[in-house]
Structures are given as C-alpha cells and as structure tokens.
C-alpha cells in the first residue's frame, strides 16, 4: 500500500497508511498530461482511502491457502477494492492446470 501513496504531511487527514516518496520526473509529465500542481497529489491516491483518488488497489490470490484466508485478511487491507484470482497458478496448485471447466466429482 505504501508504494501506491505519496507521504502525507503531519496533521493532514488520510495520513495512514503512510506513503513512500514516488518519483515525478518532469520529462514524463507530457505523457500522462500531468501538470506540476498540488491537485495531482490529491488525485494520485487510492480510491478506497480518498474519494478523489484515481488509483485502484487490488489483491491477487494464487493459492488454496489464499482462498481459505481471504475473508480474514481482506478487512486488514482497508484500501483494497477488489480481489483477483490468479487462475493459472491457483489451478495448478489445485492439481488441474488451466482446466477452467467445472470439475465434476
């Protein structure tokens, strides 16, 4: 999560989880349409933590252990908006590599 957020100034709302410094090289601004103003810092945040944000954080489950614990772990990640299934790795771990049709037992 810290890699997705800019550090927040002491005393500002939505400070936690604290972000890590991210690069904002001037040479790439023309590719994204970003301008060097403060509104970009507000928008470049995670949607679940900041309604004006434009980043969506998702988790990926790729193991049977992950599917068993996701209900317990997801509430601990308040900024996560979605859980994806890594179907290739998960199907291989379950012993049915890339067999996506329902398995009848």
DSSP, collapsed to helix, strand or coil, labels residue 37 as coil
Looking at the fold, whether 94 and 62 belong to one and the same domain comes out as yes
Looking at the fold, whether 31 and 51 belong to one and the same domain comes out as yes
Whether this model's pTM surpasses 0.75: no
Q: Which two tokens stand for residue 9?
A: 């100034």
Looking at the fold, whether 61 and 79 belong to one and the same domain comes out as yes
Q: Identify which of 104, 45, 105 has the alpha carbon closest to the alpha carbon of residue 79.
A: 45
In the predicted structure, residue 9 carries a pLDDT above the cut 90: no
Between residues 19 and 93, the one the model is more confident about: 93
DSSP, collapsed to helix, strand or coil, labels residue 22 as coil
- pLDDT per position as a tens digit, 36-93: 566 666 677 888 777 788 888 888 999 999 989 988 888 888 778 888 988 889 989 9
Check residue 11 and give left, alpha or beta (phi > 0: left; psi -120 to 50: alpha). left
DSSP, collapsed to helix, strand or coil, labels residue 82 as strand
Looking at the fold, whether 62 and 12 belong to one and the same domain comes out as no
Looking at the fold, whether 14 and 47 belong to one and the same domain comes out as yes
Q: Cβ distance 102 to 76 under 8 Å?
A: no
The residue segments making up the domain with residue 36 are 1-55
Q: CB neighbours of 98 closer than 8 A, spacing ≥ 6?
A: 87, 88, 91, 92
Tell me how many domains the chain contains.
2
What's the first-to-final CA gap in the chain, in angstroms?
40
């Amino acid at each position: 999560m810290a890699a997705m957020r800019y550090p927040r100034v002491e005393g500002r709302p939505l400070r936690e989880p604290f972000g890590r410094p991210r690069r904002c090289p001037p040479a790439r601004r023309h590719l994204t349409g970003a301008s060097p103003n403060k509104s970009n810092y507000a928008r470049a945040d995670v949607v679940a933590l900041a309604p004006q944000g434009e980043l969506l954080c998702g988790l990926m489950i790729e193991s049977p252990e992950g599917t068993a614990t996701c209900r317990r772990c997801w509430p601990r990640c308040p900024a996560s908006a979605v859980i994806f299934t890594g179907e290739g790795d998960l199907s291989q771990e379950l012993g049915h590599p890339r067999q996506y049709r329902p398995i009848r037992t």
